[in-house]
């Protein structure tokens, strides 16, 4: 019995020993969590040829020469968060090349990553105001269909509550807005060309974009790769969406249609825009009346990438050539057989 008591005394832990053990376990758990990467997703889509690939390359610090995006392309960036040990943040970046026949492609990023850490950057060509609403409407309709197919009504409402937090619970226009369930930033591209357009056209464009950004709960910025301050602002905005830093990329706001617009989340209002409360359908109808729109050209496929020097792959090209030769042989053989049968 004395031997058993001696063993019990030797293995008894003091409160200090238990506290030290708990602290060590907590530090160990935090170390494990710090090594687990966190992910966010940015979906970049909009007007064709507006500079989406160039913007993504600058965001990811890549020097690649941009080439036309044919369908849907994926890339990613990785950064180590400061002050959080070895924690790595990953940003998934999807780019849609063309809006024509793209309904199924638009679903892919949402289906792959969900809505919890999802955001969208809609890039529009300001230099073509007669295509502006056509492109924007196509994007918004595609995103709405993708959301309805890949998220439950409860999840959508929970996400919209976060949008309300973003624009401000006390915003006077909140009840009149058609909020999206994830952050959207509308980027007006090619501002360097747009700024030379007629003042009245620029006024209509600014009113339209401010109105639609406001009703969606989105932010709005104008961009040009040739303007260093606008390029930095847009890159900071993507860093904010993709990595959470800076926490607020919009240091200032600008609402004057005579210069580049910078409208942070929740900063605008119907009164400031100078219009009555509206919805996306009426905003589009009004803009299309002022600036008639060119309809979307569906059914037009891009050029064959096999003939593009930028897409050369020797192994694949050789196999493709072989299959083309085999196909031509079959076609010629069939043609000869048909002629022979006619003679018979």
Residue-wise pLDDT for 159-210, tens only, equals 999 999 999 999 999 999 999 999 999 999 999 999 999 999 999 999 999 9
CB neighbour list of residue 308: distance below 8 Å, 6 or more residues apart? 67
Domain with residues 39-290, CATH architecture = 3-Layer(aba) Sandwich (3.40)
CB 216 within 8 A of CB 270: no
Q: Which of 95-104, 260-269, 291-300 has the highest average model confidence (pLDDT)?
A: 260-269
101/337: higher pLDDT: 101
Q: What is the pLDDT of residue 318?
A: 75
Contacts 24+ apart (CB under 8 A), 323-331: none
Q: What is the pLDDT of residue 188?
A: 97
Total Cβ atoms within 10 A of residue 302: 14
CB 74 within 8 A of CB 94: yes
Q: What is the pLDDT of residue 230?
A: 95
Q: What is the pLDDT of residue 249?
A: 93
Mean pLDDT of the 266-292 span = 96
CA distance 67 to 45: 15
Give the residue among 78, 79, 50, 54 at the shortest CA–CA distance from 66: 54
Mean pLDDT of the 256-263 span = 96
Q: What is the pLDDT of residues 196-207, one digit of tens each?
A: 999 999 999 999
Over 50: is that where the pLDDT of 134 sits?
Answer: yes
**Could you give the percent of the chain with pLDDT greater than 70?**
78
Over 80: is that where the pLDDT of 217 sits?
Answer: yes
Report the chain's mean pLDDT, rounded to a whole number: 85
Over 50: is that where the pLDDT of 241 sits?
Answer: yes
Q: What is the pLDDT of residue 340?
A: 53
Over 60: is that where the pLDDT of 35 sits?
Answer: no
Q: Which of 65-79, 120-134, 287-301, 320-334 has the highest average model confidence (pLDDT)?
A: 120-134
Q: What is the pLDDT of residues 61-106, one digit of tens each?
A: 988 777 777 789 999 999 876 655 557 899 999 999 889 888 889 9
- Delimit the domains of the chain by residue range: 39-290
Over 50: is that where the pLDDT of 5 sits?
Answer: no
Q: What is the pLDDT of residue 8?
A: 44
Q: What is the pLDDT of residue 2?
A: 43
| The model scores a pTM over 0.85 | no
Burial (Cβ within 10 Å: 0-12, 13-18, ≥19) of residue 258: exposed
pLDDT confidence of 3, banded at 50, 70, 90?
A: very low
Over 50: is that where the pLDDT of 121 sits?
Answer: yes
pLDDT confidence of 42, banded at 50, 70, 90?
A: very high
Q: Where are the alpha helices (DSSP H) in 91-128?
A: 103-113
303/60: higher pLDDT: 60
């Amino acid at each position: 019995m004395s031997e058993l008591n001696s063993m019990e005394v030797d293995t008894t832990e003091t409160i200090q020993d238990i506290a030290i053990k708990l602290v060590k376990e907590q530090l160990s758990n935090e170390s494990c969590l710090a090594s687990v990467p966190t992910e966010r997703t940015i979906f970049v889509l909009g007007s064709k040829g507006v500079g989406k690939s160039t913007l993504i390359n600058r965001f990811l610090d890549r020097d690649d020469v941009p080439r036309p995006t044919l369908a849907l392309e994926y890339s990613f960036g990785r950064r180590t968060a400061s002050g959080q040990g070895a924690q790595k943040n990953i940003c998934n970046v999807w780019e849609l090349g063309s809006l024509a026949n793209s309904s199924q492609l638009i679903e892919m990023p949402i289906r792959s990553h969900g809505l919890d850490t999802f955001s969208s950057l809609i890039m529009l060509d300001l230099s073509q105001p007669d295509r502006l609403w056509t492109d924007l409407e196509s994007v918004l309709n595609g995103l709405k269909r993708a959301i309805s197919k890949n998220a439950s009504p409860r999840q959508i409402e929970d996400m919209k509550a976060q949008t309300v937090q973003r624009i401000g619970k006390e915003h006077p226009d909140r009840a009149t807005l058609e909020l999206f369930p994830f952050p959207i930033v509308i980027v007006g591209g090619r501002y360097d060309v747009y700024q030379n357009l007629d003042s009245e056209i620029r006024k209509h464009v600014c009113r339209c974009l401010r109105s639609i950004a406001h009703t969606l709960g989105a932010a709005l910025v104008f961009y040009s790769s040739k303007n260093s301050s606008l390029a930095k602002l847009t890159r900071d905005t993507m860093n904010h969406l993709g990595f959470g830093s800076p926490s607020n990329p919009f240091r200032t706001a600008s609402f004057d249609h005579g210069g580049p617009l910078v409208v942070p989340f929740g900063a605008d209002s119907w009164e400031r825009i100078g219009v009555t409360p509206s919805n996306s359908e009426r905003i589009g109808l009004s803009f299309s009346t002022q600036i008639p729109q060119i309809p979307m050209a569906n059914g037009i496929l891009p050029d064959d990438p096999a003939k593009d020097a930028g897409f050369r792959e020797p192994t694949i090209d050789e196999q493709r050539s072989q299959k083309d030769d085999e196909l031509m042989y079959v076609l010629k053989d069939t043609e000869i057989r048909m002629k022979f049968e006619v003679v018979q």
